[in-house]
Structures are given as C-alpha cells and as structure tokens.
Chain A
Amino acid sequence: MSGTLLAEVLTGGVRGGTSILFAALGETICERAGVVNLGTEGNMLMGAMTGYAVASITGNTWVGVAAGAAAGGALALLHAYFVLNRRTNQLATGLVLLFLALGVTSLFGVAYVKADIDAFQPVAVPGLSSLPFLGEIFFEQTVLTYLAYALVPALWWLLFRSRWGVVLRAAGERSEVLATYGYRVKPVQYLAVVAGGCLGGLGGAQLSTAYTNAWFENMTQGRGFIAVAVVIFAGRHPIKVAGGSLLFGAALALAPALQARGYSVNQFALDAVPYLLTIVVLVLLGKRESAQPPEGLQKVFEGSAVT
C-alpha cells in the first residue's frame, strides 16, 4: 500500500466510497420511481449495525451483510408505507425515519460496540491488480467493492435497457400513463423504495464490516445525505453516480492520508471537505438539464412543505 499520496487517497476513496456508492445506487432506483428517501442515512445506519451485529453473532460476515441489507430494506418499507399509503411529506418522513434508525441502532447496537467480527479483507484480483497505478487503486479491494462495481452496469442495464426499467421510470415520470397501460403504480414504487433501502443497508454493512471494521453510534456521519446529494447532481444516472461516490470517498480519505504523512493541516478543515465539496459540486452541476428530477419528484422538491 505504499506509493504516492494520490494513489493512497484514491485507494482509500474507493474503499470509503463503496458505502456511498451502494447507498447512492439504491437512492437512484428510489428516485427514478418518484420517491426521495432522505432516510438513506438511516438505512445505512440500520445496515451498519445489523450487519456488524449479525456478523458477530453468527461468525459469518456474509450472513451479516445480508442481514444488514434486509434491515435497510425494512426501514425503507416503513418509508414506502408512510409516503405512498399515508401520503406524508417525503422529505420530513425520511428524516423522522433517520431519527428512528439512530435510536434503534444505538439501542440494539450498544451490545456490539466491542464485539469482534471476521471482517472482509482486501483480495487482489489476479492480473488486474498488477496494472500500473490503477491496479492498486481499484483491484486490491474487498469483495463488497467488486460487488458494487458489478452493480453499476447492472443497474444501468436494468434502468435503461430492460422492460422493468421502463415501468420503474414511468412510475416516477408519468404514473398516470403507467396506470393507463394497466400497471399498478404503487407496487412498483414499493419495490423500488425497498430495493433502494436494501442497497443503503448493504452500503452501511460495507462500512462496518469492510471499512471501519467496527460499530459505533451514528457511524455513518452524513454519508447517506452525501449519497442523496450525489444522486441529485449525477442526474440519477448509475455511471455518473459511481463517479460521484468515488469522488466523495476520495474527499473522505484525504484527511487520514495527509495526517499519516505528518502534514499539519487543520483536522476540522479537512473534515469539512466532503460536505463543502458536495455543496460546491451541486452548485456547479445542479442546474444541468440532465440533473432535472423525474416529474413525480419535482412535486416533492418544489411542493409545499406544510403538512
């Protein structure tokens, strides 16, 4: 893992950006179906805690990751119910669910703060890992990161090349058209929100079982919010979402890398970089045509906040 600062930051960026990538891909599905889930942060927390706890109990980290994904999906199911059935405000409901997740994970997670797990270790991909520069950055990662790589084109294909994707996007853009063709809109949206939640949970589980290798209260530190922001400025396009997630992973990796080298840059200034960067990128890219939300979402973003 020696090498230049750039390589180190980028490697750390891929490792730390994987959780954001999972969550952002999930939120992409969700938003394409016309639902915003600010509770993505909560989905990640649920996934991080459940993934870690189950990995510690069963001794099998894969079972933990699956449980983490399920926990994220369960919280998202609540979001879907309240937003789609009870017609509550999407943005506020997401935040309330984040609160719920903060509480639930600290309530049930406290027993696992000092637990041990068999954490994921980096696995070099034969051949690819010996590529100059890129090999070290992209192909000496954990299996979960490789899974995230695979999800990016898979989701692109699903959204833009499959019948399923047409139905999903129609639910977000023109739900009345979908209804005219005899589809039921709500089940499609439920599926999208829950699938998004599962990916958020998976992202959280990656964070606790393959990145920090620990669980502590509120460990996601706004990564879920950054994921939502990434989805917005990446125009809800999986491949751009991947780029954005890695960029923020790199921003998060900057502080530890500089500190390890003894640079006396202020820690708090460095901590602020990812959030500041998110806002700056949103400003620079926010107004592009491609970033415009699906019709169904515009109502959420521009509609009255008052319930």
Chain B
Amino acid sequence: MTTLLDPDAVEATAPAAPAPDGATAASPPPTAAPSPWSARLVGLGRTAAALGGALVVFAVFMKAKGADPVAAYREMLSSVTSWKQVGEILIRGTPIILAALAVSVPARAGLINVGGEGQLVIGGVAAAGVALGLGDTASPVLVTVLMILAAALAGAAWSALAAVLRVYVDINESVTTLLMNYLAVDLMLYLIYDAWKDRNGSGQPATPALPVADRLPLVGQSRIHAGIVIALVLAVLVYVLFKKTSFGFRLAVVGGNPEAAHRAGLRVGLLLIGAMALGGALAGIGGYAQLAGTEFKLRPGFLVGYGYVGFLASWLARHKPLGVVGAALLLSAVVIGGDSLQLESNLPAASVNVLMGLLLLAVFGFSTKRKAVAA
C-alpha cells in the first residue's frame, strides 16, 4: 500500500517527514519491509535516552525552584501507581485519547488540527444542549444516542470549518483551529453564565446537572465510566480505518503527496475536509464522555487543557492510533503526577507543562536519527 508513498514522493513535499505509515521510527526514508530488530532496539534506546534527558532537565528546573527533584519524582510515581490512581488515569485519559485521535486522523491526510480543545468543548456543549432540550420527554437510551450524535456532529462541523477554509480559501488550518478554541470556550462560558445557567443551583456558574439516567454507566464499583470503553473502541476503529479501508489509504496518499493524489484522481479537498470532520467528531464524543461520565454539568474550566495534551499525545505516538492510546494514558499519568508536584513540592500545577514540553522535544528531536539536510 505504499506505492504512492515512495521516498521520493514524500521527500518532495516534506524533506524531514518519514512515511506517515511509518514502518519504523528510526529511519526517515520509508520502506515497506519492517526494519530488523537490532535497528528497532537502537531506536528504542535512543528514545529512552532522550526521555531520560528530558527528566534530567526538568529535575534541574525543580532544583532551581528549591524543590527536591528526587522526592518530587518519587511522589509523582507513587501518585500514579495505586489502583485507585490507575482508575483516575483512565478517567482523565478518556478525553485525552479522543482529542489525540482527533489530531491523528487529520494528520494522516497531512493536516494539523490544533483545535482538539475547542472540539472537545463544543461536543460537551452539544451533548449538554440535547439533554437540557429533551429533559425527561424522551427515554434515557434515546437521549444518550442523541447526545452522542449531537456531540459528534458538533465536533465535526466545528473542525470541518477549518478544513473548508484551508481547501477553498487557502488559510492554514493550524491557525484557524487554534483561534476557534477560544471561540468555543467563549460560547460555552456564555451558556454557563447566561442562557443555560442553573437557576436553582448553588450559585456557582454551571448548567443543571445531567439526570442520573442519562449518565454513562460505571465499570464495576469504581468511578471509571464507560467512556474509556468508547475511547478504546474508537481507537481500534481508527486503526482499522487506517490499515484496512480504502478511505484510510486515500488519506495516507493525500498526506504523503497531495499533488500525486490529485493526479491519481483523488478528490483531495473532500478527503481533507472528511479527515478533519472525522477528527472533530472523535473529539466531540470525547466532550460527551467527559460530560456524561464524570462532570455531569458544564462549568468554567470544563475540559480546559485536555485538547492540547491530546495534541501532544498524538505527536508523541507519531499519530499511530494504538500508540496514541498509550501516549494519551502516559500523559494522563504525567498530568496526575503533576498534581502531586503542587501538593507535595509546592510548585504551581502548570509546571507539569514544562515536563510535557521537554518530553515532546526529546521525542521530536532526538528519538530518531535525522539525516543531514540534503541541499
């Protein structure tokens, strides 16, 4: 399936980009055959060394702020290794997985979707809107189905707008998706403080809580909700889409070389819009899962930051759907570990962003051996 993705074709558009289909992370020129195990081991070693380097640099930062790095890392580790915390990682990881897949699908077609944040929020807003609008006039099953549909459609529409602007007006999607994040949050805040405000609530700005019947079921006796199942199933579906369907293949062709794809008769514009809309739909469902699984109401701060963490997770896993799940859960653990930084080491919660940024830079820049730039 890589006939159109020959090294030359890929090199022509992006000199530094390895094949989207990425048989290996270790060598930029893509090959159809998997690399030998020794090369894989070297690649793994490289990644491990790069990640270790990131941890050391972050330790220096913590030291500079007067915190004890060894104790801080021990706290972070122990804060994510109990059973209860594993559940927490899955709960927080759910929207991160879906936001990350929302980046992976468009990336397959060569688009950069930085709008996961807004698409999550808009999905949550649409789901909340359906629940508020229907009230108890419909059966819980119908309400749930409609909530998921509305969330997916809202996320798809929100993201597709950026792809439409890219295709027809030639505006780079990374800028528009970014700006639309701010719009989505402003829209949600308006609804929370005004139109959908819970008038009988505690005075805290929030929408009325979702009726118990409309919430996602919990897994066993835990706080873990069925959202993680939805996220995992969707990740597998995206994997199948990429590997087994002609749509997935077309996306990869467009991502590899839009010009070649166009000449081969593919409708590049429609594929780009489709990829972006699908990504947005996944994030929208993430917004639904957060609403129906753990938050039950919209409040200021709903899903803040999750979309950006998802963006990083997708890049961390080089947009491979199953790897994305692992990366998303790993970053979810890092975020939770970051809370312990605040509690135990007295560092601001946002300092965990330093660690995430460093980890990403390490993986971006140092996990693969880059060829010297051809002149």
Minimal Cβ-Cβ distance residue in B for A292 = B170
Is the beta-carbon distance between A272 and B357 smaller than 8 angstroms? Answer: no
Is A25 an interface position by the 8 A CB rule?
Answer: no
Kindly state the interface size class of chain B when it binds its partner: 35 or more
- Within B178-195, the residues touching A (CB, 8 Å) are 178-180, 182-183, 186-187, 189-190, 193-194
Q: Pick the contact of B189 from A78, A103, A106, A268 — CB < 8 Å?
A: A268
Instruction: Known contacts A88-B365, A99-B360, A229-B179; decide if A268 and B186 are in contact (CB<8 Å).
Output: yes
Tell me how far the C-beta of A138 lies from the nearest C-beta in chain B, rounded to whole angstroms.
28
Q: Which residues of B contact A188 (CB under 8 A)?
A: none
- Within A200-251, the residues touching B (CB, 8 Å) are 217-218, 221-222, 225-226, 228-229, 232
Instruction: Known contacts A225-B178, A268-B186; decide if A283 and B169 are in contact (CB<8 Å).
Output: yes
Q: Pick the contact of A103 from B106, B171, B355, B366 — CB < 8 Å?
A: B355
Query: Majority SS of interface residues in chain A?
Result: helix
Minimal Cβ-Cβ distance residue in B for A175 = B375
Q: Produce 1/0 per residue, A67-97, CB < 8 A to B.
A: 0000000000010001000111101110111
Is A118 an interface position by the 8 A CB rule?
Answer: no
Q: Compute how far the CA of A38 lies from the CA of B373 in the bound complex, rounded to whole angstroms.
A: 23
Is the beta-carbon distance between A279 and B180 smaller than 8 angstroms? Answer: yes
Is A301 an interface position by the 8 A CB rule?
Answer: yes
Is the beta-carbon distance between B14 and A304 smaller than 8 angstroms? Answer: yes
- Within A98-123, the residues touching B (CB, 8 Å) are 99-104, 106-108, 110
Is the beta-carbon distance between A95 and B179 smaller than 8 angstroms? Answer: no
Q: Which residues of A contact B15 (CB under 8 A)?
A: 87, 299
Tell me how far the C-beta of B23 lies from the nearest C-beta in chain A, rounded to whole angstroms.
13
Is the beta-carbon distance between A222 and B14 smaller than 8 angstroms? Answer: no
Is the beta-carbon distance between A282 and B175 smaller than 8 angstroms? Answer: yes
Is the beta-carbon distance between A100 and B357 smaller than 8 angstroms? Answer: yes
Is the beta-carbon distance between B361 and A38 smaller than 8 angstroms? Answer: no
Q: Which residues of B contact A305 (CB under 8 A)?
A: 106-107, 110-112, 255
Is the beta-carbon distance between B354 and A103 smaller than 8 angstroms? Answer: yes
Is A126 an interface position by the 8 A CB rule?
Answer: no
Is B292 an interface position by the 8 A CB rule?
Answer: no
Minimal Cβ-Cβ distance residue in A for B176 = A279
Instruction: Known contacts A87-B370, A106-B351, A307-B318; decide if A302 and B13 are in contact (CB<8 Å).
Output: yes
Is B165 an interface position by the 8 A CB rule?
Answer: yes
Instruction: Known contacts A107-B61, A304-B13, A304-B20; decide if A275 and B179 are in contact (CB<8 Å).
Output: yes
Is the beta-carbon distance between A89 and B16 smaller than 8 angstroms? Answer: yes
Is A128 an interface position by the 8 A CB rule?
Answer: no
The size of the chain A interface, using a CB distance under 8 A, is 55
Is the beta-carbon distance between B364 and A92 smaller than 8 angstroms? Answer: yes
Q: Produce 1/0 per residue, B253-289, CB < 8 A to A.
A: 0011110000000000000000000000000000000
Minimal Cβ-Cβ distance residue in B for A291 = B170
Is A161 an interface position by the 8 A CB rule?
Answer: no
- List 12 additional contacts besides A96-B315, A307-B18; criterion CB under 8 Å: A89-B364, A96-B360, A99-B312, A103-B351, A104-B354, A225-B175, A232-B171, A272-B182, A299-B14, A302-B258, A306-B108, A307-B16
Instruction: Known contacts A95-B114, A100-B361, A107-B61; decide if A279 and B190 are in contact (CB<8 Å).
Output: no
Q: Compute how far the CA of A82 lies from the CA of B362 in the bound complex, rounded to whole angstroms.
A: 10
Instruction: Known contacts A86-B365, A86-B366, A299-B13; decide if A306 and B318 are in contact (CB<8 Å).
Output: yes
Minimal Cβ-Cβ distance residue in B for A273 = B186
Q: Which residues of B contact A96 (CB under 8 A)?
A: 312, 315, 357, 360-361, 364
Q: Pick the contact of A268 from B107, B176, B193 — CB < 8 Å?
A: B193
Minimal Cβ-Cβ distance residue in A for B5 = A304
Is B319 an interface position by the 8 A CB rule?
Answer: yes
Q: Which residues of A contact B235 (CB under 8 A)?
A: none
Is A266 an interface position by the 8 A CB rule?
Answer: yes
Q: Which residues of A contact B18 (CB under 8 A)?
A: 306-307
29 contacts between A and B (CB under 8 A): A78-B361, A82-B361, A86-B364, A86-B365, A88-B365, A89-B364, A91-B112, A92-B315, A93-B361, A95-B308, A100-B353, A100-B358, A100-B361, A102-B350, A103-B353, A103-B356, A218-B350, A225-B175, A232-B171, A268-B194, A275-B183, A283-B169, A287-B170, A301-B172, A304-B257, A305-B106, A305-B107, A306-B20, A306-B110
